[in-house]
Structure 1
């Protein structure tokens, strides 16, 4: 499962995401995808909003609004640090390790 899918799953039906969607006047699924796309794009080289737009198909203005609503680039960095348990700069290995422990395979 990709980082995008992991974050999308965590954001799905989350009350904060629903409140943000209501405040912005957009579908909660759009905000879920926006959060996942922004978090995934944050650790890549390039413009976070532009990369997330390519990944999700969501308009850049909506993505920029979501980014600011969650606390800007700094909050995305903190979120990625939380996911990167071993602090090697790559949260994907940590998610894979967590998933293997969760499903009893290592």
Structure 2
């Protein structure tokens, strides 16, 4: 997990005006750092898809579009998501490991479980 976190932190540090790391970003939007990692990775993935990035990420994570919108704002907007999208394209396995907590090859169940835990519905 440390590797993925440092990858995301490295991208955040390179974006002017963004929080320096995932923990700071998570604190600013009021969510758990682990959930913030997943949200950033998912936003990076959905940025490459057709449709609204935040709405697609919300559907994948179960997180509110308002929270995801705050994350996009904190990292510098849609333009900054391109850096995350490129990182995912260049090293897709590190991001899939980040999202697939139980290692079953399916990230949706893990992200959904995290969102349930975040909202106390577990």
Does the CA contact (< 8 Å) of 2:45 and 2:88 recur in 1?
A: no
Does the CA contact (< 8 Å) of 1:35 and 1:66 recur in 2?
A: yes
Quote the residue 1:103 is aligned against.
none
Of 26, 31, 40, the match for 1:26: 31
Instruction: For structure 2, list consecutive stretches of 5 or more residues without a partner in the other structure.
Output: 10-19, 94-122
Of 36, 41, 49, the match for 2:46: 41
What count of residue pairs does the alignment treat as equivalent?
A: 80
Return the index of the structure with the highest Cα Rg: 1
Q: Matches of 1:81 and 1:29 in 2, distance apart?
A: 21
Instruction: For structure 1, list consecutive stretches of 5 or more residues without a partner in the other structure.
Output: 1-8, 86-93, 97-106
Q: 1:24 and 1:84, CA in 2 relative to 1: closer, same or farther beyond 3 A?
A: closer
Does the CA contact (< 8 Å) of 2:23 and 2:33 recur in 1?
A: yes
State TM-score, norm by structure 2.
Answer: 0.55
CA RMSD of aligned residues (A): 2.5
State TM-score, norm by structure 1.
Answer: 0.63
Q: Matches of 1:46 and 1:19 in 2, distance apart?
A: 28
Shift, 1:68, TM fit: 0.9
Q: Which has the higher contact order (CA 8 A, sep 6+)?
A: 2
